[in-house]
Amino acid sequence: LKMDHTTKFKKVDTISVDPLSEDPDEFIDQLVKSTQTRHRHQVKQISPLPLDTPMKEGHTRFVCISDTHGEHRKLESLPKGDVLLHCGDFTDLGKQKQVEDFNEWIGSFKDFKHKIIIGGNHELSFDPKIVAEVRRRALDRTFCWYEYINKIPPAITDDWPKVLSNCVYLQDAEVSVNGIRIYGCPWNPEFGGWGFNTKRGEDLLSKWNKIPGDGIDILMTHCPPAGFCDQVEHYQWEERVGCVDLMNTVQLRVQPKYHLFGHIHEAYGYVTDGQTNYINCSYVDRKRRPCNLPVIFDFPNPPDA
């Protein structure tokens, strides 16, 4: 028995690279211009549940945070819940000390039955490509701007799930809680050569293509999809930087109830397209100040769980 889920958009099995993959602003403009597609960008603000809302019988309470950037200890308390979710950028550079401290911190919350996290572009040591590059440069002693990563012992970078012993680390992987299916992955559009940076278009789409299309309830990515909580503020204008192919994947193929992410700090917020609730739960704000509240929601337990 599948639970009730309003699907507003016709579901497809395959997503092709969007012709406007590289230009999220133009992609959204084009969607809105056509009467055939404008319904895909009817974005409604929704207010998150007040943090003191009593837990509901027959539901699983999720507490969502992201982008703590090593400042997790400033979050002195967290709302009570069954599952804690973190959408990446839990460190500054993925250094061993910070990863260990984060693990210890997350381990101190005994009330959560499950703690689930993904990496972000700041978890440099979790990205095998960057780790390999650093090692190569260290060997031939050429300059590498990732030089700080040399301080991360190889044993740690090769075995990160063991360092994060107090939570479940998802990388292109799925976990079920009370029959609720959660999938997570760290990939994000190239920007400055950081961890899990991936080219827009085919390369990123190949990562999103790994997300199962048969009923994921909660999707965790580090980066936002185009059009939902993805605006960067410049001095005079705003620019969308979310992933176009992720937006197509979420709205047309995966159709989860919730899509959680962070990465674009200034776009912290909670919106819906009438099918999926999109939550940017970045803890730090545009000036990297730790200040935003965690976001909570209650997910009805599937009847056959």
Footprint on this chain of Mn ion (rule: CB under 5 A): 25, 67, 89, 120-121, 263
Name the 3-class secondary structure at 75. Answer: coil
Cβ nearer to Mn ion, comparing 91 with 248: 91
CA of 91: how far to CAs of 166, 221, 228, in Å?
Answer: 16, 16, 24
Number of alpha carbons in the 13 Å side-chain half-sphere of residue 168: 20
Listed residue (4, 47, 45, 7) closest to 297, CA to CA: 47
Q: Report the partner that residue 100 touches, choosing among Mn ion, ligand 5GP, none (CB closer than 5 to 8 A by kind).
A: none
Distance of closest approach, residue 239 Cβ to ligand 5GP, in angstroms: 6
Listed residue (34, 4, 25, 10) closest to 237, CA to CA: 25
In 3-state terms the chain splits into helix, strand, coil percentages (rounded to 5) of: 25, 20, 50
Are 217 and 255 within 8 A, CB to CB? no
Handedness of CA 78, 196, 186, 22 (dihedral sign): positive
Q: Which of residues 50-89 bind ligand 5GP (CB under 6 A)?
A: 67, 89
> Quick one: which segment of 34-42, 140-148, 198-206, 257-265 binds ligand 5GP (CB under 6 A)?
257-265
Cβ nearer to ligand 5GP, comparing 62 with 268: 268
Q: Does 121 bind ligand 5GP (CB under 6 A)?
A: yes
C-alpha 181 chain-centroid distance:
15
Distance of closest approach, residue 106 Cβ to Mn ion, in angstroms: 17
Distance of closest approach, residue 59 Cβ to Mn ion, in angstroms: 30
Q: Report the partner that residue 127 touches, choosing among Mn ion, ligand 5GP, none (CB closer than 5 to 8 A by kind).
A: none
Stated as kind and residue range, the H or E segment containing 260 is strand 258-261
Q: Report the partner that residue 25 touches, choosing among ligand 5GP, Mn ion, none (CB closer than 5 to 8 A by kind).
A: Mn ion
Read off the DSSP letter of residue 253: I
Are 227 and 43 within 8 A, CB to CB? yes
Distance of closest approach, residue 261 Cβ to ligand 5GP, in angstroms: 11
Q: Does 200 bind ligand 5GP (CB under 6 A)?
A: no
Are 188 and 224 within 8 A, CB to CB? no
Distance of closest approach, residue 120 Cβ to ligand 5GP, in angstroms: 6
Cβ nearer to ligand 5GP, comparing 75 with 175: 75
Q: Does 265 bind ligand 5GP (CB under 6 A)?
A: yes
Question: Which residues of this chain interact with ligand 5GP, rule CB under 6 A?
Answer: 67, 89, 121-122, 189, 191, 232, 239, 241, 263-266
